[in-house]
Amino acid sequence: MRLGLEGRRALVTGATKGIGFAVAQELVREGVDVTICARTAADLDAAAERLAADGGGRVHAQACDVTDAEQVRALVGAAVAAHGGLDIVVNNAGGATAGSFEELSNEAWQRDIEIKLFAQLNVVREAIPHLKKSVAPRVVNIGAVYARNPDASFFASSVTRAACHNLTKVLAQEYGPAGILVNAVNVGLIATPQWDSLWQRKAPDRPRDEFLDQLAATEIPLGRFGDVTEVSGVVAFLASDRASYITGTAIDVAGGLGRSA
């Protein structure tokens, strides 16, 4: 399906692997000029090369720690300079913080809040003046189903993602009159490299695939992990004119995981 995104300009954070890379790839293939960022320059170069080989939109890559407001200011400025403006922001940067309540230190909580909540705040704050100039401004925040379905096994994510969920809601309310649509895609168990750390922590003596297959069978009604392209397709839809009357919404891409209405 062609979504009519040709010529639009996007910024995707945390875009060198996993969901972020899949989103950038989907947008580039739709003809979007995309700026990608991550903290590691070598990873960025490799990702940009792969994206450019796909054809479609142009690709700009810049190293950035999205928890650093000054680096984010430079990133957004470079994205606008590279492509002449900004229409789409996809906040994908994040990470898994392992630990129960008693195991999580204040420092661990601070890191989790910074990489999830403050990363989104930093990017949106810098992007808003440019999005106000766009004919089709979109913000898509990648979250987690734990935002509405807390799980003590994912303690920090359950708390921090709830804050991100409400950030999406209030941004949609505040910037709706300006025509800026703000939505979230809340993911469940998606096959990305971050699950290796959970496997090593929970069951290092068991084969990885066996551990993950059992986790999926236990937790997910569809009985399997999701693929990153099942997330990126939803993001591209929300970025398109097909979703022009959708804002303040969180779409779960989780195979039925979660019990919220």
Q: 86-123, pLDDT tens digit by residue?
A: 999 999 998 878 889 999 999 999 999 999 999 999 99
Which parts of the chain are beta strand (E)?
9-13, 33-38, 59-63, 88-91, 138-144, 181-187, 250-253
| Confidence (pTM) | 0.94
Q: Domain containing 166 — which CATH number?
A: 3.40.50.720
155 and 204 belong to one structural domain: no
In a domain, 234, yes or no: yes
In a domain, 4, yes or no: no
Q: Token digits for 60?
A: 């700009």
218 and 118 belong to one structural domain: no
115 and 213 belong to one structural domain: no
79 and 208 belong to one structural domain: no
In a domain, 114, yes or no: yes
C-alpha 79/C-alpha 11 separation (Å) is: 7
In a domain, 1, yes or no: no
- Total count of domains within the chain: 2
46 and 65 belong to one structural domain: yes
- Of 81, 92, 90, 91, the closest CA to residue 58 belongs to 81
Backbone torsions φ then ψ of 41, nearest 5 degrees: -65, -40
143 and 214 belong to one structural domain: no
Q: Which of 40-49, 190-199, 215-224 has the lowest mean pLDDT?
A: 190-199
70 and 145 belong to one structural domain: yes
DSSP conformation class of 237: H
Cα Rg for the chain, rounded, in angstroms? 18
Which domain range does residue 26 map to? 9-190+226-253
38 φ/ψ sector (left φ>0, alpha ψ -120 to 50, else beta): beta
pLDDT digits (tens, 9 = 90+) for 201-222: 778 888 888 888 898 999 899 9
Res 98: pLDDT = 81
